[in-house]
């Protein structure tokens, strides 16, 4: 008995030390977070390069929208599938497969000789990102606990926010620098060395994890979701430049039955005890419905604004790609500030932080609309600095805590599914924003409104949507238990 007691006393300090040590070291965690950073960076870095791509590859405005949208469709469709495959075959394995595919497709995008090749590579790049990103959250959840997990989750949000904010700035620098005459191709090539370094680090440092019980992959559901998104987004992007031929209206009308078929399949799959892509029981949770509405409001407008801002500043405003990117620097600063302090503020204010974010964002976009109306086309990064700083600060207060606040109100047993649905809606809405907001902007820009009037209209529309989201967000504050 004395020996037993001595052994306990000797081993207790070691256990305490082990409990405070993270299973993922700083380099391993950073490598894993590239799975969140690179896909988001690739979505936003392309915007500032679109005018140059259009000139070099003789692409129409609709094709340029598809450069953004095709990536988002593939990513959104396969995110949940990627997560399920990682659960069954190993998260490290799927992470490395996705990272390899993403890096190779980045190289193919960079050397694409035609717009068709670029679009095909973007689709595969989006699919590869869908294999990579879910493994980040799943690995964090399975390997870390307590404070380590909370910190890593916050860093996941920071990685996505930083990529969104820095993407267009970096893109502007690369396109304007025109290193070795690469021009817009550099925005894709930048992924290649980063991807290769992350691959080497991932092979050596990341531990392998699997789910205790892997669920069947809902390939039929993924296919139906892909068909639905194509039926919706393809006519929205190609309709305006083609003069809205009959097939675009037929495609849009087919969206309704496609959604019905998808819903019926998901309901039957869940009733049969399978694992549907979008489980109806999770969607019936009040917190999830509110969260999805907030995600649609934020990511659709944010993705659309980033698309049109690049076209407007490099169009009638006659900014260079670098100047256009620098115009977004204040927004990036706002994002960084909220990324640093957001997790701490989230603990204090909860959903109230998102309410404040919507209000501040509304002020920022309202100021931007006013600046565009007053100074266009003689706007500069300096004249846009204050509106972009305020808008970036507000957007960060919405984006950074959104997933944590919503999933925190979902029962623990369904939190993983809730996260997957929110990530899917994020990518879907970013692509939808480029299609819908982009089409509205291009339609107005071709009239007497011009690009300045169109940008003003977009900014004021986002202001109105931000204000409409305030009472919706307050429903989360009154419903912390997330009862259905």
Report the CATH number at residue 369. Answer: 1.20.1250.20
Give the per-residue pLDDT at 352: 86
199 and 234, same domain (yes or no): no
Per-residue confidence in pLDDT tens, the chain, 484 aa: 333 333 333 333 333 334 455 677 889 889 999 888 899 888 888 888 888 999 999 998 888 888 988 898 888 888 878 888 888 888 899 999 999 999 999 999 999 999 999 999 999 999 999 999 888 878 887 788 777 776 777 677 777 767 876 887 888 888 888 888 889 999 999 999 999 999 999 999 998 888 777 677 788 888 898 899 889 888 888 888 888 899 999 999 999 999 999 999 999 988 888 878 788 888 888 888 888 899 999 999 998 998 899 889 988 888 888 888 888 889 888 887 887 777 677 777 778 889 999 999 999 999 999 999 999 989 999 999 999 999 999 998 888 788 777 776 766 666 666 777 888 888 888 888 888 898 899 999 989 899 999 999 999 999 999 999 999 998 876 544 434 4
The pair of structure tokens assigned to 307 is 């698309």
Q: Three-state SS for 190?
A: coil
State how far the Cα of 221 lies from the Cα of 265, in Å rounded to an integer: 7
Whether 46 and 166 share a structural domain: yes
Cis status, amide bond into 377, omega within 30 of 0? yes
| Same-domain status, 202 and 238 | no
Q: Residue for token digits 């002020």? A: 363
What pLDDT sits at residue 414? 62
Is residue 411 within 8 Å of 299, Cβ to Cβ? Answer: no
Q: Residue 382: what pLDDT? A: 92
Do 187 and 228 share a domain, yes or no? no
Residue 32 lies in a domain: yes
**Residue at token pair 């004249």:** 383
Rounded to 5 degrees, what are φ and ψ at 380? -135, 165
170 part of a folded domain: yes
- Residue 195 phi, psi (nearest 5): -65, -40
The residue range of the domain holding 247 is: 218-274
Among 192, 183, 94, 189, CA closest to 134: 94
Model pTM score: 0.81
Note whether 325 and 469 are same-domain residues.
Answer: yes
Residue 3 covered by a domain: no
Asked whether residue 213 is domain-assigned, the answer is no
Place of tokens 């019936």: 284
Same domain, 141 and 263: no
Looking at residue 22, its pLDDT comes to 63
Question: In 3-state terms, what secondary structure has residue 217?
Answer: coil
In the chain, how many domains are there? 3
Same domain for 52 and 184? yes
Can you give the pLDDT at residue 152? Answer: 78
**Are 299 and 335 within one domain?**
yes
Give domain status of residue 251, yes or no. yes
């Amino acid at each position: 008995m004395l020996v037993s007691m001595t052994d306990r006393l000797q081993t207790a300090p070691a256990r305490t030390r082990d409990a405070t040590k993270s299973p993922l070291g700083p380099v391993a965690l950073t490598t894993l977070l590239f799975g969140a950073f690179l896909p988001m960076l690739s979505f936003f870095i392309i915007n500032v390069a679109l005018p140059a791509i259009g000139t070099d590859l003789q692409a129409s405005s609709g094709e340029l929208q598809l450069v953004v949208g095709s990536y988002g469709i593939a990513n959104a469709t396969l995110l949940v599938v990627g997560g399920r495959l990682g659960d069954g075959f190993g998260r490290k394995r799927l992470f490395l497969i996705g990272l390899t595919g993403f890096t190779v497709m980045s190289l193919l995008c960079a050397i694409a000789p035609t717009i068709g090749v670029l679009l095909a590579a973007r689709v595969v790049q989006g699919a590869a990102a869908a294999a990579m990103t879910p493994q980040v959250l799943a690995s964090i959840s399975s390997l870390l606990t307590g404070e380590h997990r909370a910190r890593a989750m916050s860093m996941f949000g920071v990685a996505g926010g930083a990529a969104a904010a820095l993407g267009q700035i970096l893109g502007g620098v690369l396109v304007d620098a025109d290193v070795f005459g690469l021009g817009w191709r550099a925005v894709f090539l930048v992924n290649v060395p980063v991807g290769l370094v992350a691959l080497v680090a991932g092979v050596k440092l990341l531990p392998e994890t699997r789910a205790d019980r892997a669920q069947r992959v809902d390939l039929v559901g993924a296919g139906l979701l892909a068909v639905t998104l194509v039926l919706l987004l393809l006519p929205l992007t190609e309709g305006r430049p083609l003069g809205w031929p009959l097939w675009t209206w037929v495609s849009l009308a087919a969206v309704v039955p496609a959604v019905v078929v998808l819903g019926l399949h998901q309901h039957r799959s869940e009733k049969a005890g399978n694992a549907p892509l979008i489980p109806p029981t999770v969607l019936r949770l009040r917190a999830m419905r509110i969260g999805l509405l907030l995600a649609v409001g934020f990511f659709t407008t944010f993705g659309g604004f980033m698309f049109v801002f690049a076209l407007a500043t490099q169009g009638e405003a006659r900014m260079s790609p670098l100047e256009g990117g620098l115009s977004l620097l204040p927004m990036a600063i706002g994002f960084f500030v909220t990324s640093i302090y957001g997790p701490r503020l989230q603990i204090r204010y909860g959903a109230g932080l998102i309410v404040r974010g919507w209000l501040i964002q509304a002020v920022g976009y309202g100021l931007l609309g006013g600046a565009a109306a007053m100074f266009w086309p003689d706007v500069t990064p300096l004249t846009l600095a204050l509106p972009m700083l305020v808008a970036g600060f507000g957007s960060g207060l919405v984006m950074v805590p959104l997933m944590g606040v919503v999933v925190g109100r979902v029962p623990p047993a369904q939190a993983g599914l809730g996260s997957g649905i929110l990530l899917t809606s994020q990518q879907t809405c970013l692509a939808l924003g480029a299609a819908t907001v982009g089409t509205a902007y291009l339609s107005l820009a071709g009239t007497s409104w011009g690009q300045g009037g169109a940008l003003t209209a977009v900014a004021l529309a986002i202001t109105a949507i931000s204000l409409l989201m305030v009472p919706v967000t307050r429903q989360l504050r009154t419903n912390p238990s997330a009862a259905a």
